[in-house]
Structure 1
Amino acid sequence: MKRLLVPLAAASLGATALALPAAAEPGWISDPLAPKPADAYSNAQFWLDANGAALKKATQYRIDAKDVPKLVRPQTQAGDGKPGGVAPTGTTPPSAKSKNVNLPKTIGKVFFLDRAGQPRWCSATSIQSRHRNLVATAGHCVYEHGKDVFRKWVFVPGYYQGKAPFGVYVGAYAFTAYDLDTYDDYDGDFAFVAVHNGFRLAGLKKVTKAEFDKWAGDKWVQPRPITAEEYGKCLLNLGDCYSEGEDKPADRVGPDYPGAVLEREEVGAQAYKDAKTGKGSGYKFGKPETVPATKAEYDAYKGPGDKSDDKRGNYSITRYYVQKWVKPGTTRKYYMAEYMIGIVKDAGRLGDVVGGQGIAWNQPMNQRVIAFGYPSAPHPDGDRPFSGLTPKWCTGKTGTKTYQINTFRVETHQVLKCSMTPGADGGPWLVRYDNNKRTGYVNGVTSLFVDEDGNDRVDHITSAYFDGEVADVYAKANLAETKKIVGPNGELLPG
């Protein structure tokens, strides 16, 4: 993947806003996702088209692993400097105190296409940033095997049962640890993605051909069926109409002809009497049909059947049918071209709409956290308690030590006792969570799922330990500027 220079804000952050530990050399990498508005528009449209069909079709992303990972070799130390952090921002008014967990508006799903072109999703959260445009998730939910980024990457905050209540936010630039990108090292299994302004569909509109040609957003030609007479008038007026196919009568064939269909043909009483019983053209088709008729129907009928008048005002018609096997004909069809445009609406910056969680690094172990996510995959034993349609959570204290996990080159992952399954990966671990304000500090994102007691059930989840390297990557992502995708009239903006 070719590296891209990301447009960064010129002013530097003050020490009060973000104090970073010293680092010997950069440990971060940046990759483009869809920095151009036209590409971002296309990505959002892909997921929103047909009433969000692709969103509903997506399944949780699962890391390729033959066995469920095991925790090994607990470490005694974690961190590489002084504790630090950035405070959250929120858009949700404080709620009344509750013993239940109040879900934050910031959490949602990220959607993308994997290398096979299949729609997938992970969990994520909006996170506080300078330009109110940053998403935090697992690195493996942005980078495929630590290499190239996934295609059509978007974030849907507040995702609930197939709906995108706050719009779709298209990824512009991705930031992660150098070791994840280069070595697929899951000690760096985290990522920050700068997203464009949100995008919502606001209906469609029929326009003239001239307006259609000028429109820079989503547009299409919609055919409307018309009659042959309307088509003729359209041609005289030089309208936008066209025809397809040709008028071709049906051909009489035998009943064994490939594609032959059975029709009935009305005949007279004598022809019906002479017809044979069986299968084939000219053979009897059912029994004669005698039906009551009105005086008008009686007078209007000119067919070969028999009419009956009992002179007391009672009329009936008897009809006789034989079989007619035909190869169906075709009919020329006529259409008027209608020019349609899709109206979309700018939903604003992510942080202005749903707020952003804070972030903390070099925090002590054994802290109480609450982890959110959208679990969906079954446990190793096949039981599937989660649907992935609604967010779930686990709460408790992280382990007193970090752990090594050989399968994914992990040396220092923090762990939490939790039974959420894949689909929750990328979801935030929040310390100091204020249940009334629904905000806290992201101190991890779900990375791996562990069956520690060997009973074929996930019982622990892990996260990269957020240290100075995470803070360094965050600092770079924090400066990334993104754009509006659409203008005030729903048009695609240039750039």
Structure 2
Amino acid sequence: MKRLLIPLAAVGLSAAALTFPANAEPAWATDALAAKPSDAYGNAAFWLDANGAALRKATQYFWDAKDVQKLVTTQAKAPDGKPGMTQAPDAVKATGKVKNVNLPKTIGKVFFIDRAGKYRWCSATSIQSKHRNLIATAGHCVYENGKDVFQKWVFVPGYYQGKAPWGVYAGAYAFTHYDLDTYDDYDGDYAFVAVHNGFNLAGSKQVEFNEFKAWAGDKWTKPREIDAKEFAKCQLNLGHCWSEGEDKPADLVGPDYPGAVLEKVEVKEDAYKDAATGRGQGFKFGEPVVEQVTKAEHDDYKGLGKPGTDALGNYTITHFYTQKWVKPGTSRKYFTADYFIGLAKDTGPLGDAVGGQGFAWNQPMGQTTMVFGYPSAPHPDGDRPFSGLTPKYCYGKTGTKTIQANTFKVETHQVLKCSMTPGADGGPWLIKYNNAKRTGYVNGVTSVFYDQDGNDRIDYISSAYFDGETAAVYDKANYAETKKIVGPNGELLQ
């Protein structure tokens, strides 16, 4: 896939707000996920189909937890420019000690298919943007090994057990740091993804063929069996019908013929008496069957049976049967098609549905931070305390110095003491979190997990430090325009 390296634009955050070192230029890369509405619809419908079966099948995306390494403290991160924040989502103040945490409405899961064809997910959050269509997550939850983007990439805010309460938002364009995209360098392990309007499936509708043919969204047929007369009428009217098989009579065979089927044939009493007893063509089929009938049925009977009365004076007809062994014949079957279209309901831009967190860069380290995510993977010792079904959080102050680790070329990450496991990848690091309003500023996303004390339990997580280059990536994503996928009647828009 060709990568596009984009120079600093005059739009968006002002150049003055993005101060870069004299020897550096802002560098970011962008890739298309599903820019066309038809592709986006297909991606979202894939996850929604069969009542969210694919969503429930997905597992967290993570590297081998047994390979976690210890981190090394380096030095305080020198900002590459002035601190900055987007316009506040609300009046947000730093929180004190947190007892009961209100989970943000903005968080959810991103779902995608990796190169091995496995259904995967990570954590993410809606973030403020010009078009109310942006999410923030880890770069490795969008780019596989820093190369091509994952397939069928969608965001589901508020995800829970296969449900998408605010719809599914298909990714349109991904933006990340050039070093992650090119070198798989986790100092740039973040991504901002512009998503199309969300939608939910809203049932189906049976339609005539012409409407079915013109429908651009999800559609399917259901065959329905009809009789020969309906088939002839359908053909006469140039309808959509077809036949399968052929009419072939049954053949008489011996009882030992492979696949032979035993049938009974009613005969007169004399023929029954003359028939042999045992197993064979024309042999007796069990004992005579006595049927109790009314006087009128008895008097009017013209069949092969023998009318009579029993010891109690009840009117009866006695039936006599012989064996018939056949190789079953076949019958031609006739079908027509019923046509159905899948309807969808637009849930609007992401920001209108769930809001968006603020964005901050070049912030002082050692700040009180709330980290949210959907942890799921076991600790290195095999214990699995998290199910991944519901979001969890960590709370505390980040380290005052950046850290490095041999894993993934990490040299300047910020770190937080936290026991969340993979699955929380891509979850937001929020500073100045307002517990009442459930909003703050995204100042990082979960990237790497560590076992610092060597007891086979994850005890620290880290995030790329959000600096001026991060702001440049965000600035480009901030202006990405996306589209509405479905129209007012549930149709797929072109």
TM (norm. structure 1) is: 0.85
Distance 2:456 2:283 in 1: 68
Output one character per residue of 1:164-205: Cα deviation in whole Å (capped at 9) or x when no partner. 111111111101111111111111111000111112222222
Deviation at 1:398, TM superposition (A): 2.1
Distance change in 2, residues 1:378/1:246 (3 Å): farther
Distance change in 2, residues 1:159/1:288 (3 Å): farther
Q: Which residue of 2 aligns with 1:463?
A: 463
| SS of residue in 1 equivalent to 2:364 | coil
Q: Which residue of 2 aligns with 1:274?
A: 277
Distance 1:324 1:202 in 2: 53
Q: Which residue of 2 aligns with 1:69?
A: 68
Distance 1:349 1:202 in 2: 18
| SS of residue in 1 equivalent to 2:233 | helix
Q: Which residue of 1 aligns with 2:18?
A: 20
| SS of residue in 1 equivalent to 2:456 | coil
Output one character per residue of 1:395-427: Cα deviation in whole Å (capped at 9) or x when no partner. 222233322110211112222222222211111
Q: Which residue of 2 aligns with 1:170?
A: 170
Distance change in 2, residues 1:412/1:339 (3 Å): same
Q: What is the root-mean-square deviation of aligned Cα atoms in Å?
A: 3.3
Q: Which residue of 1 aligns with 2:93?
A: none
Confirm or deny: 8 A CA contact 2:223 2:336 kept in the other structure.
Answer: yes
| Structure 1 range deviating more: 445-454 or 167-176 | 445-454
Distance change in 2, residues 1:239/1:21 (3 Å): same
Q: Which residue of 2 aligns with 1:378?
A: 378
| Structure 1 range deviating more: 218-227 or 445-454 | 218-227
Distance 2:256 2:416 in 1: 70
| Structure 1 range deviating more: 29-38 or 214-223 | 214-223
| SS of residue in 1 equivalent to 2:34 | coil
Q: Which residue of 2 aligns with 1:342?
A: 342
Distance change in 2, residues 1:73/1:460 (3 Å): closer
Deviation at 1:100, TM superposition (A): 2.4
Confirm or deny: 8 A CA contact 2:373 2:425 kept in the other structure.
Answer: yes
Deviation at 1:220, TM superposition (A): 2.9
Distance 1:376 1:304 in 2: 74
Distance change in 2, residues 1:263/1:400 (3 Å): farther
Q: Which residue of 1 aligns with 2:181?
A: 181
Q: Which residue of 2 aligns with 1:363?
A: 363
| SS of residue in 1 equivalent to 2:49 | helix
Distance change in 2, residues 1:467/1:233 (3 Å): same
Deviation at 1:481, TM superposition (A): 1.1
| SS of residue in 2 equivalent to 1:216 | coil
Distance change in 2, residues 1:147/1:232 (3 Å): same
Output one character per residue of 1:311-330: Cα deviation in whole Å (capped at 9) or x when no partner. 5327586776869575x554
Distance change in 2, residues 1:197/1:273 (3 Å): same
Distance change in 2, residues 1:214/1:455 (3 Å): same
Q: Which residue of 2 aligns with 1:106?
A: 106
Distance 1:68 1:468 in 2: 31
Amino acid at match of 1:246: E
Q: Which residue of 2 aligns with 1:130?
A: 130
Deviation at 1:105, TM superposition (A): 1.3
Distance 2:5 2:199 in 1: 25
| SS of residue in 1 equivalent to 2:66 | coil
Confirm or deny: 8 A CA contact 1:124 1:428 kept in the other structure.
Answer: yes
Confirm or deny: 8 A CA contact 2:83 2:362 kept in the other structure.
Answer: yes
Q: Which residue of 2 aligns with 1:226?
A: 226
Deviation at 1:288, TM superposition (A): 5.1
| SS of residue in 2 equivalent to 1:163 | coil
Amino acid at match of 2:368: R
Amino acid at match of 1:416: L
Q: Which residue of 1 aligns with 2:236?
A: 236
Distance change in 2, residues 1:66/1:432 (3 Å): closer
Distance 1:271 1:398 in 2: 101
Distance change in 2, residues 1:213/1:462 (3 Å): same
Output one character per residue of 1:99-151: Cα deviation in whole Å (capped at 9) or x when no partner. 42222111111111111222211111100111111010111110000001111
Distance 2:457 2:358 in 1: 32
Distance 1:77 1:304 in 2: 105
Amino acid at match of 2:449: F
Deviation at 1:37, TM superposition (A): 1.5
Deviation at 1:351, TM superposition (A): 0.6
Distance 1:192 1:159 in 2: 19
Q: Which residue of 1 aligns with 2:32?
A: 32
Confirm whether residue 476 of structure 1 aligns to residue 476 of structure 2: yes
Distance change in 2, residues 1:292/1:349 (3 Å): same
Distance 2:9 2:254 in 1: 79
Output one character per residue of 1:440-463: Cα deviation in whole Å (capped at 9) or x when no partner. 111111112222223322222222
| Structure 1 range deviating more: 358-367 or 288-297 | 288-297
Q: Which residue of 2 aligns with 1:433?
A: 433
Output one character per residue of 1:343-363: Cα deviation in whole Å (capped at 9) or x when no partner. 222211111111001111222
Distance 1:253 1:374 in 2: 67
Amino acid at match of 1:76: Q
Amino acid at match of 1:20: L
In structure 1, stretches of 5+ residues that fail to align are 91-97
| SS of residue in 2 equivalent to 1:385 | coil
| SS of residue in 2 equivalent to 1:352 | helix
| Structure 1 range deviating more: 217-226 or 144-153 | 217-226
Deviation at 1:290, TM superposition (A): 5.9
Distance change in 2, residues 1:318/1:418 (3 Å): farther
| SS of residue in 2 equivalent to 1:363 | coil
1:408-419 to structure 2, matched below 5 A, reads: 408-419=408-419
Distance change in 2, residues 1:297/1:475 (3 Å): farther
Deviation at 1:476, TM superposition (A): 1.1
Distance 1:123 1:305 in 2: 81
Q: Which residue of 2 aligns with 1:85?
A: 85
Distance 2:370 2:404 in 1: 22
Output one character per residue of 1:50-76: Cα deviation in whole Å (capped at 9) or x when no partner. 22222222221122x473321232112
| Structure 1 range deviating more: 245-254 or 223-232 | 245-254
Distance 2:175 2:257 in 1: 65
Q: Which residue of 2 aligns with 1:95?
A: none
Distance 1:42 1:418 in 2: 37
Q: Which residue of 2 aligns with 1:94?
A: none
Deviation at 1:39, TM superposition (A): 1.4
Confirm or deny: 8 A CA contact 1:88 1:358 kept in the other structure.
Answer: yes
Distance 1:245 1:420 in 2: 60
Confirm or deny: 8 A CA contact 1:9 1:480 kept in the other structure.
Answer: no
Distance change in 2, residues 1:351/1:292 (3 Å): same
Amino acid at match of 1:431: I
Q: Which residue of 2 aligns with 1:313?
A: 314
| SS of residue in 1 equivalent to 2:89 | coil
Deviation at 1:374, TM superposition (A): 1.5
Confirm or deny: 8 A CA contact 1:78 1:362 kept in the other structure.
Answer: no
